[in-house]
Structure 1
Amino acid sequence: MTGERVVGATRKLGEQTAFYGQALAFVPDAIRRYPTMVLRQIAGMGIGTGALAVIGGTVVIIGFLTLSTGALIAVQGYNTLSNVGIEALTGFLGAFLNVRFIAPATAGVALAATIGAGATAQIGAMRINEEIDALEVMGIRPITYLASTRIVAGVVAVIPIYTVAVLMSFLATRFGTTVVYGQSAGVYDHYFSSFLHPTDLLWSFIEALAMAAAVMAVHTYYGYTVTGGPAGVGDAVGRAVRMSITAGVFILLTITLSVYGQSGNFHLSG
């Protein structure tokens, strides 16, 4: 019984790895053959359609999440530092924590819960309605059309989305520190600009791009392999969100350790 489980898990891992490899390898083909599909997915991921567009879509959702986390940095950071008389360094926390940890991690979770879950549900519905089989009959490679196009769209759409996320986190931390707690704006801006390094921002965007590609690859796989009807779609969405969040945290940890290592790679700009 244990041997069968091991064999089954190994086979599933191999199938999943093969799917990811094909989806990534077919990215150039997807851009060349299905540019309209890529553009449609970018619009849907960034702004949303129908009722979701009224609420704000992925951009506003991630913006509000990072706004909340940035405000928490102001609250916890100012109060903690004020206990030892160095509350002026709250600007340092805004530049250091938002870019290296808070904004990428928050964006990764939000991407999994928004565009990732939507992709699994869409592709899963196509699977149970036999639309994917119809694509194969028409001579369209379904992995390229459904998975590769969404990976490209996710990576492209995350650039403006993550820009908004980082800006909102910066704004929330500065507003909370200077307006709510009354610290001088000049003091905050001095320490913020002193400790904010452009290289850290670049690596933060690289982390976001890598997490977006991983999220879309994981969610398209679980949608593509849905079984069990509508109930199976819901189950696949749950498993995909769990898997993509785990993959996103692993990517964040790996890149952070690779770039900053044990020393922290601490920078002073200027």
Structure 2
Amino acid sequence: MTFSESGSATTGTRDAIGEVADGARRYIASHPLMSLGTLGGQAVLAVRTVQCLFTDALARRFQFREFIQQAAFMASTAFVPTIFVTIPIGVTLAIQFSLLAGQVGATSLAGAATGLAVIRQGAPLVAAVLLAAAVGSAVCADLGSRTMREEIDAMTVMGVSPIHRLVVPRFAAVIIVGIALTGLTSFVGFLAGYTFNVYMQNGTPGSFVATFSSFATIGDLLLALAKAVVFGAIVAIVSCHKGLSTRGGPAGVANSVNAAVVESILLLMTVNVVMTQLYIIVFPKASF
């Protein structure tokens, strides 16, 4: 290799490294601002959606037909996957807690441990993740496609608010379906844990049910339902915001759906930890 060829190769390497460094600096400089803009837009959309929900309900302008259609579609989309995901999770929790109870000599408390794990943590999280993956992605894709076809702009020009017409019914439908899925997950999880403990691990049916009802209190069920409401609101707001802010054609719709699912799941996990810790702090006796 000659000196000129060596110098040109070195210069090309430096140019490539410089371009990578410039790209990294631009990403670091712009990404926090984009994140703050997204967070602010979602907060504004959440406030306006809740406000429009109450005003529409009081003024009797709520879009019941759209709400029924969306709720039926969401329920049919998430019902079967929720059951098939809940069963292995309930069985896994039953196995792990039964082994732990056997190691400490408290096999009779397997039902209590399964009840606390399923109702307080498992049911809301499973329902929320499936809500984000199945329902949230569908909502985001629907609104993203409408945005790309300029239907949202046309509605705005005609004086029809997209929040009143599209976001509010979906917001209410996601919350209702989230509550229903949480109840379904609690029942299926309990049934799976009971069946596996009694028929596969030779547990005592009466002991399982008695310890379950003793340790899994009404407060745990109320916590699960409260989580379902909050999780449903998060999924609805994130999915609607990503759909309405879609840019870039069909590829933009795919990117919006991916971003909506990822952001929803991250927020759900964070909010779940916060709500669980607050519940333990405020109601310490009910947490044991």
Residues 15-54 of structure 1 mapped to structure 2, 5 A cutoff: 15-31=41-57, 32-33=60-61, 34-47=63-76
SS in 2 for 1:261: helix
Number of residue pairs the alignment of both structures matches: 259
Q: Which residue of 1 aligns with 2:188?
A: 168
Q: CA RMSD for the aligned pairs?
A: 2.0
Q: Secondary structure at the match of 2:285?
A: coil
Aligned pair partner of 1:192 in 202, 212, 216: 212
1:95 has 2:143 as partner? no
Shift of 1:171: 0.4
Query: In structure 1, what is the equivalent of residue 223 of structure 2?
Result: 203
Partner Cα distance (2:215, 2:144) in 1: 46
Residues 1:65 and 2:82 are matched in the alignment: no
Give the Cα separation in 1 of the matches to 2:213 and 2:36.
50
Distance 1:263 1:24, change over 3 A: closer
What CA distance in whole angstroms lies between the structure 2 residues aligned with 1:6 and 1:160?
37
Give distance in 2, aligned partners of 1:142 and 1:198: 39
Structure 1 residues without counterparts, runs of 5 or longer: 48-56
1:131 correspondence with 2:160: no
Return the letter of the residue paired with 2:105: G
Q: Are the aligned partners of 1:29 and 1:144 in contact in 2 as well (CA < 8 Å)?
A: no
Deviations 1:107-136 (A, max 9, x none): 111110011110000000101111112222
Structure 1 segment 108-257 matched on structure 2, within 5 A: 108-257=128-277
Identity in percent: 27
State the alpha-carbon separation in 1 of the partners of residues 81 and 31 from structure 2: 40
Q: 1:4 to 1:77 in 2, by over 3 A?
A: closer
Give the residue type in structure 1 aligned to 2:143.
I
* TM-score, length basis structure 1: 0.89
CA spacing shift, 1:4–1:204, aligned 2, 3 Å: closer
- The residue type equivalent to 2:90 in the other structure is G
Q: Which is richer in helix? A: 2
Pair 1:13 & 2:42 matched: no
After TM superposition, the structure 1 stretch with the greater mean CA deviation from structure 2, 81-90 or 2-11, is: 2-11
Aligned to 1:261: 281
Max Rg structure? 2
Deviation larger for 69-78 or 230-239:
69-78
Give 5+ residue unaligned stretches, structure 2.
1-25
